[in-house]
Structure 1
Amino acid sequence: MAAGGWRAGLALLAVALGLGGPRAEQMEEHLKREHSLSKPYQGVGSASAGLWELQGNAIVMAQYIRLTPDVQSKWGAVWNRVPCYLRDWEMQVHFKIHGQGKKNLNGDGFAIWYTKDRMQQGPVFGSKDNFLGLGVFVDTYPNEEKQQERVFPYISAMVNNGSLTYDHDRDGRPTELGGCTAMVRNLNHDTFLVIRYVKRRLTVLIDIDGKQEWRDCIDVPGVRLPRGYYFGTSSVTGDLSDNHDIISLKLYQLTVERTPEEERRDKEVYLPVVDNLKLPGMEAPLEPMSGLALFLIVFFSLVAIVFAIVIGVIVYNKWQEQSRKHFY
């Protein structure tokens, strides 16, 4: 994709999401290289240097990083070594999925992660289950036999506080925050997706039609993600397979103005949570009490204590009087 096309697309995206033109014009200035992966992939996979670490069957090629080859029972991942402490960010993913399988005879897809733990192999597209953080899944194979509402390939998102299990048999439907169909296999043009996290709002957009135009996929408000987690991507093949290639991962820091109310609302969080969505073992955070409510609670507590002391003194004096009468 030409640089001019990217800039135009990003400008439209910024305007649509209320960030205005200047943010798009200065996008390059906000590129965070310590969290980005692009050609020529210098130092990737090095045991002693580099910002990204390979895992499993992932290999570095000249034009891409191949997470898995079009071979059965393979898995691979690449993880950023540097934790991300940005408040608002955007991850642009340039990828390619291709192979010999036709229709639904291919699999299984790949995931993009923002999680507390890194480099842990597991059953969720090659990474661990019961994770802490965010997973965005590009799922190319329907495990559930009777799919009435979905057409695959399918992109979905999941926020996990460590207590949820990804349901493979149902393609993650019980824990899905949102999703969309995305026909991304065996295309002759570039395919992209963007994961954007701004003001506790999670948005996923895709550009897969070769038109250099973004299309809405997922939009979820009230998503609270802690800072200091790691970016990564992983893939797995089973009885069916595909080549899963990552061409680039580019992370941008977004500068966003907040009102005092938004500053209060967007305070630091320590476990992933989604407002108005109950996750097992984790209730939505309670709103802090106002100063008046706290004052009233303390005042009436003190009144109750004083009242109890007075009653106690009266009862004690009565008891002493009764004791003296019995003595005489």
Structure 2
Amino acid sequence: MWLSSWLAMLPLAAQVLAGSGEKSARTDENGIRRIQLRTHTLAPPYLDSDMQSRWWDFGGNTIIRADQYIRLTSDRPSQEGWVFSRLPLTATNWEIEIEFKVQGNGNLHGDGFAMWLTKQRAQPGTVFGHVDKFEGIGIFFDTYKNNRPGTVFPYVMAMVGDGQKPYDKANDGKDNEFMGCSARGIRGASIPTKAKLTYFQDKSLKLELMYKQEDQWVVCFETTDPPTIPSVSYLGFSAETGELSDNHDIISVHTNNLYDTKKKTDYTDTGKGSPKAGRAKRKSKKSQKSKGSWSWFLFKIVMIFVVAGGVYVGYTAWRAQRQRKSHRF
């Protein structure tokens, strides 16, 4: 019994050791390296074996269908639902790609859903199912036009909240808008609908949408003067329905930490920007990387010995138990 229990743990130990590396990392043609953040990623079946999620909380009228979607609201009046990360997103540069679906049976529909990066988490409220006067940034996928002449709906817009200013719901957030765009075909599209938000601290913020044609991204907005997003921000999604309704589904969420591998060496601090100082800085980084590699290698060796020791102890106990049983007879 002891031996079988320890042997069963070997694949799990191997998975932990392998999963701790950067196998999910990849670098594109522009030199941007992406490393997946599992803590902020959602994909079917969404829940663990005990029907819970290690990294996310769900609430309101949210329904989870493990093989298809996380439904924030069903196509029924007066619903609200949300899903929020348990840990804050602390990466300096990141990319969040979501696949979603908004559809329903009625000719009239509403109200929409939102993506959040805010200090507040899991707090229901009146802004697409989330609390008003938030601090951070909200991306609103608004499908119902209240009072905004000259604007084509559905409309996607970003609002930067300071914790004090309320959302102007009566006018579809016109006075709150940071940037936005019309996206007429985003509801009920025949292809997978997606949004991708990319952020480089103090450098750029860009929102891209996919709804016209599969694998074709359309830039909704982009700026080289991005807002300051709180260093401790939780990633979340919420939706609401009023008298009019829709199904608001989150299909998947993929979050990556971004690194610019082509970034030039910064010759600062020592040597007044001299090449010698730069070489010293690179040498120091190389030494730190080497030390980190050795530390990881030693950690693996220690873990292997721990697992092997556990197997040996379990086998010894099992063998002694068998011998005691044989002496009885």
Q: Do Structure 1 and Structure 2 share a fold, with TM-score over 0.5?
A: yes
Q: Which residue of 2 aligns with 1:151?
A: 152
Question: Residue 123 of structure 1 aligns to a residue in which SS?
Answer: coil
Equivalent positions of 1:1-328 (< 5 A) are: 20-23=29-32, 27=34, 30-43=35-48, 50-61=54-65, 62-102=67-107, 105-144=108-147, 147-148=149-150, 150-182=151-183, 183-200=185-202, 201-220=204-223, 221-256=225-260
RMSD (Å), alpha carbons: 2.4
1:43-101 per-position Cα deviation (integer Å, ceiling 9, x unaligned) = 39966x52111110001112100000000000000011011110000110100000012
Distance 1:213 1:44, change over 3 A: farther
Distance across 2 between alignment mates of 1:110 and 1:164: 20
Distance 1:44 1:167 in 2: 42
Tell which structure's C-alpha radius of gyration is larger: 1
Instruction: Tell me: CA distance 1:189–1:202, structure 2 relative to 1, closer, same or farther (3 Å).
Output: same
**Paired AA for residue 149 in structure 2:** Q
Structure 2 vs 1, CA of residues 75 and 56 (structure 1 numbering), >3 Å: closer, same or farther? same
Please report how far the alpha carbon of residue 35 of structure 1 lies from its aligned counterpart in structure 2 after TM superposition: 0.8
Structure 1 Cα separation of the partners of residues 49 and 79 of structure 2: 20
**Is this contact kept in 2: 1:46–1:53, CA < 8 A?**
no
Q: Which amino acid aligns with 2:30?
A: G
Give the TM-score of the pair, scaled to structure 1. Answer: 0.68
SS in 2 for 1:187: coil
Deviations 1:92-142 (A, max 9, x none): 01000000122xx10000000000010111100000000010100000001
What is the number of residues matched between the two proteins? Answer: 238
State the 1:21 CA deviation: 3.5
Distance in 2 between residues matched to 1:99 and 1:222, nearest whole Å: 35
Q: Which runs of 5+ in 2 are unaligned?
A: 1-25, 269-329
Q: Quote how far apart the aligned CAs of 1:229 are.
A: 1.0
SS in 1 for 2:110: coil
Q: Answer yes or no: is the 8 Å Cα contact 2:31–2:260 preserved in 1.
A: no
- State the alpha-carbon separation in 2 of the partners of residues 252 and 56 from structure 1: 28
* Residues 44, 93 of structure 1: alpha-carbon distance in 2 compared, 3 angstrom cutoff: farther
Q: Output the CA distance in 1 between the equivalents of 2:258 and 2:29.
A: 12
| Cα pair 1:122 1:129 within 8 Å, conserved | yes
1:169-200 per-position Cα deviation (integer Å, ceiling 9, x unaligned): 11001010111111211122100011111133
Residue 120 of structure 1 aligns to which amino acid in structure 2? Q
1:298 equivalent in structure 2: none
Give the conservation status (yes or no) of the 8 Å contact 1:44–1:53. Answer: no
Q: State percent identity of aligned pairs.
A: 38
- Mapped partners of 2:49, 2:238: distance in 1: 15
Instruction: Name the SS for the 2:30 alignment partner.
Output: helix
CA distance in 2, matches of 1:217, 1:129: 24
Unaligned runs of 5+ in 1: 1-10, 264-328
